[in-house]
Amino acid sequence: MDVLEGNLSVGLGGGNPAQWRAVAEIAKEVKANHFNQAFCAVGWTRANLGTDEIHLNSMCAPCGKVGYVKISTGPLSKECAEPAIVPVDTAIAMIKEMGGNSIKYFPMGGLKCKDEMKAVAEACARNHFIMEPTGGIDLDNFREIMETILNAGVEKVIPHVYSSIIDKATGNTRIEDVKKLLAIVKELV
């Protein structure tokens, strides 16, 4: 960790909630600076981290209803016939109570749920909460996603851009794409 200066993100592996326990257990041993977690395991993970200084997000999903999110993102709850759908402000309050720092809004599907994403951003702004838009973000929609979130007044955004900037042939991140994304961020903030 010294070599990385703490710059490591511990994730769920494609948002797979079955990995929640592995993330929570890693939190005991590795003090990375960013942890991703299913909604149901945020409190457990925060306790294992043993500090409030490390960033911990909580995965919440679009649900088809503007102003609401699905918090049943755990390995069992995501399969329930009746999902747990709550107002975004309520989800944020619960995440804060469990020790989370942000809402990881996943899977967005790019701009497929733009109205819902905007409502999540507005709630994050009202509650001074960090937003982590995730899923289907690429060079074509990155600017619009970021503009929508920033125009809503969100103070801190951590966009997750994954496979869309990976060269399929080599498996390497396309550095030119990263430079383009960074240029967009610099224009917007």
- Using one digit for the tens of pLDDT, what is the confidence trace for 99-134? 999 999 999 999 999 999 999 999 999 999 999 999
d(CA 29, CA 114): 38
129, with CB counted inside 10 A (0-12, 13-18, 19+), is buried
**Could you please report the per-residue DSSP string of 1-62?**
-TTTTT--EE--TTT-GGGHHHHHHHHHH---SEE--BGGGHHHHHHHHT-SSSEEEEEEB-
Can you give the pLDDT at residue 184?
Answer: 96
Q: Would 94 be classed as within a structural domain?
A: yes
Number of alpha carbons in the 13 Å side-chain half-sphere of residue 182: 6
Q: Would 12 be classed as within a structural domain?
A: no
Helix/strand/coil for 87: strand
Q: Would 139 be classed as within a structural domain?
A: yes
- Amino acid letter for position 82: E
Average pLDDT along the chain: 94
Joined tokens for residue 19: 């990995």
Q: Would 39 be classed as within a structural domain?
A: no
Structurally, the chain folds into a number of domains equal to 1
Torsion sign over Cα 32, 34, 36, 40: positive
Provide the 8-state DSSP code for 134: B
Count other Cβ atoms within 10 Å, centred on residue 151. 13
Residue 181 sits in a domain whose CATH number is: 3.20.20.70
Q: Would 118 be classed as within a structural domain?
A: yes
Show the domain range for 115: 59-188
Q: Could you give the maximum distance between any two Cα atoms of the chain, in Å? A: 46
Q: Would 37 be classed as within a structural domain?
A: no
Q: What pairs with residue 132 in β-bridges? A: 104
Q: Would 52 be classed as within a structural domain?
A: no
Give the CA radius of gyration of the chain: 16
Can you give the pLDDT at residue 7?
Answer: 74
pLDDT of 1 above 80: no
Indicate the pLDDT class of residue 12, thresholds 50, 70 and 90. Answer: confident
